[in-house]
Amino acid sequence: MKKKILYFFSDTGGGHRSAATAIISAVAHFSKEKYSQEMLDVFAECSGFLNVFARLYAPVIKYSPRLWGQLYYWLDDEKKLEQLELISRPFILKELKKLIELKQPDVIVSVHPLVNHLTVKAIRESGRRVPFIIVITDPVTLHRAWIAPEADRVIVATPEAKKLAVQYGLPEKKIKVIGMPIDPKFFLKRPRRAGRRFTILMMGGGEGAGKMRDIIEEFERKKFDGQLIVICGRNKQLETKLKKQAGQFSFPVRVFGFTNQVHELMAESDLIITKAGPGTIAEALAMNLPIIITAWLPGQEEGNVEFVARENVGRVSRDPARVVELVSELRSTKEFDEMKKNIKRVSRPQAALDIAREIFRFI
């Protein structure tokens, strides 16, 4: 009989789902026949009431990122998190326990901070001995909500994250520094064509954030001599406008909406301009792309911005004119090659495979 791995996530942003699917792909890379794998959106499956609040995440970060930052920091407090758990427990714990009893997993892997304490309690109340692994998808500065000392293993991306986890009360012996899980296809690189135009990939996360249109217009004003690949994500309005305008620019512009071909488009590119999502940064580093960050969420993504600047794997600016200047500066100096050397130093492209190996140890 196949061993069952159950993944807990919530669709509050695309990063948690991407992390889970990356680990699933890594497990399948080793053995599809030996393991049965299933992803569950905990709030959607176990609590319609809490799922309403989970669905508010996307509009809040889109229309009021400052409010999200205030909430993030306000909840980064042990007592407030205890109160939040007490409030949410009646709406989810009973159903979560039933789900564990029904699915009978051999191991549970969580990639979301708000389900961990409740999962520990649900496992205990189910009467089953199910190993519980947490994969923290905040690579540098993590929120206290991730920390559940009763977990069997907690996987972090960086030594900085490990230090914070210990500071927040997690036993050091339970922590492993492995990296951010990204799909294995991101390190099965295609050779890049020689002698082509300098190519920039522009992304703004799932919502197409980061003044992408303004940056493109600034490239036009400066007579950019390369080409742009633009991924608009779920921002249909931006995608439609850019596709209409694409032929009017003095340089080639290829426009995509939400796509599963990011790894192929990264393989064609020399540099990426993007929002500071942890998954996108890890994927860009795996593909050896220097980064220019143009947008980030207050709180959870600020550490990612600091990481990119500190490790000299990219630059940061919210100003479209400055972004275009940075591209020109990097291309005309040795800084570009220096960044690529730094990327090789800090990148952990095979983290998902190492996480899969760690999961196998508990089955």
Question: In sequence order, which residues have a C-beta less than 8 Å from that of residue 335 and are 6 or more positions away?
Answer: 329
The answer to whether the CB of 314 falls within 8 A of the CB of 293 is yes
Q: How far apart are the C-alpha atoms of 114 and 147, rounded to whole Å? A: 10
Q: How far apart are the C-alpha atoms of 215 and 210, rounded to whole Å? A: 9
Beta-sheet pairing, 291-295 with 271-275: parallel
Verify that 160 and 226 share a domain, yes or no: no
Verify that 126 and 75 share a domain, yes or no: yes
Verify that 234 and 269 share a domain, yes or no: yes
Q: Give the per-residue pLDDT at 49.
A: 44
Reduced to 3 states (helix: H, G, I; strand: E, B; else coil), residue 176 is strand
Verify that 67 and 90 share a domain, yes or no: yes
- 79's tokens: 């007592």
Verify that 10 and 58 share a domain, yes or no: yes
Identity of residue 303: G
Specify the DSSP class assigned to residue 150.
Answer: T
Q: Give the per-residue pLDDT at 208.
A: 56
The answer to whether the CB of 141 falls within 8 A of the CB of 163 is no
Verify that 353 and 342 share a domain, yes or no: no
Reduced to 3 states (helix: H, G, I; strand: E, B; else coil), residue 107 is strand
- Domain encompassing residue 154: 3-180+349-360
- 156's tokens: 């972090």
The CA-atom distances, in angstroms, between 324 and each of 197, 245, 319, 332, 335 are 16, 19, 9, 13, 16
CATH number at residue 326: 3.40.50.2000
Verify that 56 and 71 share a domain, yes or no: yes
Verify that 342 and 208 share a domain, yes or no: yes
Domain total of the chain:
2
Verify that 228 and 108 share a domain, yes or no: no
Q: Give the per-residue pLDDT at 314.
A: 97
Residue 266: how many other CB atoms lie within 10 Å: 23
Verify that 212 and 325 share a domain, yes or no: yes
Verify that 160 and 201 share a domain, yes or no: no
Q: Give the per-residue pLDDT at 284.
A: 96
- As a residue count, the chain comes to 363
Q: What is the pLDDT along the chain (363 residues), one digit of tens a residue?
A: 899 999 998 876 557 888 999 999 999 999 878 999 999 988 776 655 444 455 556 665 666 677 767 777 777 778 887 877 777 777 778 888 989 999 999 999 999 988 899 899 999 988 889 999 999 999 998 999 999 999 999 999 999 999 999 999 999 999 999 999 999 999 876 556 555 789 999 998 655 566 899 999 999 999 999 999 999 988 888 899 999 988 899 999 999 998 989 999 999 999 999 999 999 999 999 999 999 999 998 888 999 999 999 999 999 999 999 999 999 999 988 999 999 999 999 999 999 999 999 999 999
Verify that 134 and 175 share a domain, yes or no: yes
- Of 19, 11, 106, 39, nearest to 352 by C-alpha is 19
